[in-house]
Amino acid sequence: MPSLDAADTEMSDAPVSISAAAKGKGRAPADSEAAAADPVDLLPWVEKYRPATLSDLVSHKDITATVERFIEANRLPHLLFYGPPGTGKTSTILAMARRIYGDGFRNNVLELNASDDRGIEVVREQIKSFASTKNVFSNSGGFKLIVLDEADAMTTAAQSALRRVIEQYTRNVRFCIICNYVNKIIPAIQSRCTRFRFNPLELDQVEDRLNHVIDHEGCNVTQDGKEALIKLSKGDMRRALNVLQACHAAYDRIDESAVYNCTGNPHPSDIEDIVNSMMNDDFSTSYNRVSALKTSKGMALADMVNGIYDFLMTVKLPAQSRIYLLDQLGQIEHRLSTGGSERIQLSALLGATKIAVQLSEKDAAKK
């Protein structure tokens, strides 16, 4: 009997050791240590290279200088930052919080964005409970920060409830409201805040920051690739960094074609071919050629319209033709945004181009 028990024990132990080895439990600590060795490298570049201080921000120096003076005088008002995406609104708020509270700023900041439920109940409960307590052991004057990112997504009822909270708890907290469209913030909240507009970044500012990231990450970027990145960013730093990171992961050498292929935007040479065909070929030939190019390259008509608009800015056209064609491009883009048929709208685009060519010919005949 004892020998059978020993055998049973040995047999029962064997699968356990095999399963542990099969699951790779012996390698898990090494993997976790390697992953934890440098967690910064795992971050998206947008977060990895987010400015940590107000002096690191590459644009809107007038706004950052004003905020600095508010902080130094310990007279920070409620703030309303508005403007297009990727222009540094959230980065400025976080850098300001780090400037006031130091590295432990998260303990003094309540941050809510559009992914959080921010209905009237959240205003009455979560925001009100945070605002009703004062930070006694703080060198910042005792106030805390409530950051409402993408506040234009808040309901009107929630904004109406918020305006009373802003007045009632000013001694304890400062509200920092961030939005893209200031007209979606009710006037009562706008009047209680100091407003700052964040314009799209200048292209040279985008280029300076891109050069910094390219040098640190060792990206192989050609000059035309960098120009394409800057052009497609349209002053949005977040978009520029996301496209650069995607291209770096997909291509060893980032040139103009790589950038356009990675983003799905029509290449300028394809747009030039499309416009030349619409202006010079007959209607049927041009329609078939543009449709075939659109299918083979996987282009959306809305992207083509945007590309044609940019191309028309570089082409010399009579004033009447240019005005007519730009007006038609705007109408086609609107109809596409409301669910119009791409096939019908492509025909409308061709027809508008043919009429613009006829107007140009009439203008030339008069001269």
Model pLDDT for residues 286-339, shown as the tens digit of each residue: 999 999 998 998 889 999 999 999 998 888 888 899 999 999 999 999 999 999
- Tell which of 241, 263, 285 closes a domain: 263
pLDDT for position 39: 59
In a domain, 107, yes or no: yes
- Per the structure, the complete domain to which residue 251 belongs is given by 203-263
Q: Say whether both 104 and 190 belong to one domain.
A: yes
Is 40 within the bounds of a domain?
no
Q: Which residue has the higher pLDDT, 194 or 32?
A: 194
Segment 120-154, tens digit of pLDDT: 777 778 888 888 887 765 555 678 899 999 888 88
> Of the candidates 274, 337, 357, which has an alpha carbon nearest to the alpha carbon of residue 309?
274
% of the chain beyond a pLDDT of 70: 85
Share of the chain residues as helix, strand and coil, in percent rounded to the nearest 5: 65, 5, 25
In total, the chain counts a number of residues equal to 367
pLDDT of residue 43: 84
CB 118 within 8 A of CB 135: no
Task: Give the full edge-to-edge strand order of the sheet including 79-82.
Answer: 109-112, 144-148, 173-179, 79-82, 194-197
Q: Does residue 305 share a domain with residue 175?
A: no
Least confident interval from 29-43, 102-116, 232-246, 303-317: 29-43
CA pair distance 150, 85, nearest whole angstrom: 10
Q: Please identify, among 168, 197, 226, the residue that sits at the C-terminal boundary of a domain.
A: 197
Computed over its alpha carbons, how large is the radius of gyration of the chain? 29
pLDDT tens digit string along 10-64?
444 444 444 444 434 333 444 444 444 455 667 889 989 888 888 888 888 899 9
Tell me, yes or no, whether 84 and 167 share the same domain: yes
Rounded distance, CA 302 to CA 320, Å?
24
Q: Tell me the CA distances in angstroms from 102 to 134, 139, 143, 205, 278, one per residue in order.
A: 18, 10, 14, 27, 60
pTM of the model: 0.76
DSSP summary character for residue 148: E
Count how many domains the chain has.
4
> Rounded distance, CA 119 to CA 109, Å?
19
Specify whether the CB–CB gap between 224 and 253 falls below 8 A: no
Residues 6+ apart with CB under 8 A from 298: 264
Give the C-alpha separation, 2 to 105, whole Å. 65
Which pLDDT score is estimated for 298? 85
The answer to whether residues 184 and 148 belong to one domain is yes
> Do 193 and 230 reside in the same domain of the chain?
no
